[in-house]
Amino acid sequence: MIEARGLTKRYGSTVAVDALSFDARPGAVTGFLGPNGAGKSTTMRLILGLDDPDAGEARIGGRRYRELDWPLREVGAVLEARAFHPGRSAHAHLTALAASNDIPRSRVEEVLGIVGLADAAGRRAGQFSLGMAQRLGIAAALLGDPGVLLLDEPVNGLDPEGIRWMRNLLRSLAAEGRVVFVSSHLIGEMARTAERLVVIGRGRLLAAASVEELSARSGSLEEAFLEMTADSVDYRAWTS
């Protein structure tokens, strides 16, 4: 379970995340929706302890990220698609991360197989397409077989086959009883993948509800999303 309580982060005079509280529960895909710049990535970074909140806190299974004994065995995260050194092979990248958390080397081959990179594992990862980079990120997140997964825009750069693969993977990971927390600005994709949604705009919580509840409010999830975030986007084309 991920619990965010009053999370607040300022960059200078800009409030990126504003007293944000929500839960993401095991056994369901929780979609994290918001317009560009709403604070989704910042929230993810605060949960992982990469950035320090100005107020509030996030807990995973009751503990702050920095207190975890074996972080990769408890939480798998993909924040940026290319969070690896371009000169290192996918295999070496995963082997190094596995070593840090005492994860057996055999698991490296397993996750490479799960994401379909077994044949490309020896190549320098800098040569990977965006879709392959996303798959390497997922492989790293799955290394420790964690109970909590945190993914920031995981379908970016994937082709239609890859998007469907990702959707099925996320749903099956949730069905195994894991917490799956996925950010996106693609409403249609979230409607098909997530059971629950946390919607934010300008760093503030706008809604936390099931997909059905939100869709029922305005006829469709897209309408509901656009109504909720109407005051939260910086620029919008004028339409009659």
Our finding on whether 103 is near another protein (CB under 8 A) is: yes
Task: Tell me the number of residues near another protein by CB under 8 A.
Answer: 50
Our finding on whether 55 is near another protein (CB under 8 A) is: no
Enumerate residues 30-49 that contact another protein by CB under 8 A: 45, 48-49
Our finding on whether 72 is near another protein (CB under 8 A) is: yes
- The CA distance from 159 to 141, in Å, is 20
Q: How far is the CB of 133 from another protein (least distance, A)?
A: 10
The binder of another protein chosen from 31, 35, 144, 162 (CB under 8 A): 144
Nearer CB in complex with another protein: 69/234: 69
Q: How far is the CB of 136 from another protein (least distance, A)?
A: 10
Our finding on whether 65 is near another protein (CB under 8 A) is: yes
Q: How far is the CB of 207 from another protein (least distance, A)?
A: 26
Residue 201 in contact with residue 227, Cβ under 8 Å?
no
**Where does this chain touch another protein (CB under 8 A) — which range of 50-58, 115-123, 181-189, 198-206?**
50-58
How many Cα atoms occupy the beta-carbon half-sphere of 51 within 13 Å?
19
Enumerate residues 198-217 that contact another protein by CB under 8 A: none
Q: How far is the CB of 233 from another protein (least distance, A)?
A: 25
Binding mask 148-187 for another protein (x = CB under 8 A): ----------------------------xxxx--------
Our finding on whether 113 is near another protein (CB under 8 A) is: no
For the chain, the three-class secondary structure string (H helix, E strand, C coil) is CEEEEEEEEEECCEEEEEEEEEEECCCEEEEEECCCCCCHHHHHHHHCCCCCCCEEEEEECCECHHHCCCHHHHEEEECCCCCCCCCCEHHHHHHHHHHHCCCCCHHHHHHHHHCCCHHHCCCEHHHCCHHHHHHHHHHHHHCCCCCEEEEECCCCCCCHHHHHHHHHHHHHHHHCCCEEEEEECCHHHHHHHCCEEEEEECCEEEEEEEHHHHHHHHCCHHHHHHHHCCCCCCCCCCCC
Task: Give me the residues that bind another protein (CB under 8 A), please.
Answer: 1, 26, 45, 48-52, 61, 65-66, 68-75, 77, 79-80, 82-89, 92-93, 95-97, 99-103, 107, 140, 144-147, 176-179
